[in-house]
Structure 1
């Protein structure tokens, strides 16, 4: 691969579009595709400044790994030390499930390990939620629609082993820069030092979250919703699309005659 191809591979790994990447390094649309064989030092500085974990040697020569190896060193260490910071129990030492509603999620980013903050959250007991520590989060937005509806709830089990986190699972990821996000994850932590978080709703972008941004991961085990989706709507859309295709076929036949 040449430099342009490696940049495109990095963009794809980060879950970005080419235009979003160009905007992030303050270049005009079409810049990446205009690169021939080499790239100017000024543009390299912009890229490294914006993406400090990118391995400059790999970008220029193709040698080594895409990301700086220093990023991977604390990964194994962090795997070993993961444990819930606060666990809530009742008078009978039965574990309770705290609810983090939308209005409390900004505070949770700094209070997730604060006993006082967690104790102020409402708590619940739910069936079949044993053998683990659980937390309930309210969903905000439509990025996971129709899998999850806006203002519905998910119950997540604390993930204490990020190394073996299964891909294609819906998780609540507590991050420093993106806040609390609910996404379908692909585990690329070992490979790239990032967690690739996908939206089920294709109108919303995917997010690649660096390891150092992640504070907690909760694998969703239950979904609570007050909305009953009407499948007729989807069927109607398919039927309308089939009618449009049939009409176009008939129109083409008439033109051929």
Structure 2
């Protein structure tokens, strides 16, 4: 039995006991037909629907439940953007699901459907920097983040828990009500701006409550070893350098 499933089972049981409920009574509150005994023994996974009910009724942090955070409760009123479903490999350890361009079209509509996630390819990345957190891979579409990200490349992104966790200047995968985008995020008083790197693409304005998940991009996978083209500023600096070189040679 894998480490993360054991943690989830133990914390699930701990929560039930803290609430003073029997397994049958807890199952009734969660809206599941069978008792919670199989979940507590680690024989059944905790579904996305159950995670959503635990959050809605008890403000339980899904990442705490799966051993990815020590923050058990989430504050009421804070915009929560953590994933409702995590994916596990055959050893019941968390892996990195890959959402390609085709799958991204249906991603926002399947956030709480564990069976849909099982259709996605996934892999393990046994590096220390990819442990103790939830990661997911997304394929880049379009040129809005060019030249930082190219169409067809993949980004590996780490799940954020709250909208207040976002950092200025970072690139994020932002899941909205019916789509997902890769952008930088600027928080304003009553609105959120999603900013492209490519100046040809205007900002997208949205409301905080319309954001369902946020993933902070930590690395990318590219199929090309070609160097990235210069940004306009780098191109201008290169031209100035060449002009100065020509002037020095002319003065000799």
TM range (shorter): 0.5 to 0.7
Extract structure 1 runs of 4+ deviating beyond 6 A. Answer: 232-236
Aligned to 1:7: none
* 1:109 equivalent in structure 2: 108
Per-residue deviation at 1:211? 1.5
**C-alpha contact 1:166 1:187 (8 A) present in aligned 2:** no
Unaligned runs of 5+ in 2: 1-74, 245-252
How far has the Cα of 1:164 moved from its partner? 2.8
Q: Distance in 1 between matches of 2:139 and 2:228?
A: 24
Partner of residue 203 from structure 1, selected from 186, 200, 204: 200
The reply to whether residue 185 of structure 1 matches residue 182 of structure 2 is no
The Cα shift of 1:83 comes to 3.8
Residue 167 of structure 2 corresponds to residue 170 of structure 1: no
Q: Distance in 1 between matches of 2:131 and 2:87?
A: 14
More moved, 143-152 vs 82-91: 82-91
Deviations 1:184-212 (A, max 9, x none): 11233xx22x3221111111111122122
SS of the aligned residue for 1:110 comes to coil
CA distance in structure 1 between the aligned counterparts of 2:152 and 2:79, rounded to whole angstroms: 34
The whole-number CA distance in structure 2 between the counterparts of 1:81 and 1:206 is: 23
Distance 1:156 1:130 in 2: 12
- Work out whether residues 79 and 160 of structure 1, in 8 Å CA contact, stay in contact via their aligned partners in 2: no
User: Could you say what the CA RMSD is over the residues aligned between the two structures, in angstroms?
Assistant: 3.0
Relative to its length, the structure with more helix (as a share) is 1
Match for residue 155 of structure 1?
156
In the other structure, the counterpart of 1:121 is 120
Q: TM-score, normalised by structure 1?
A: 0.58
Query: Contact (CA 8 Å) 2:79, 2:209: kept in 1 or not?
Result: no
Q: TM-score normalised to the size of structure 2? A: 0.59
Unaligned 5+ runs, structure 1: 1-75, 247-257
Cross-structure match for 2:90: 91
* CA-CA distance at 1:242 after TM superposition: 4.8
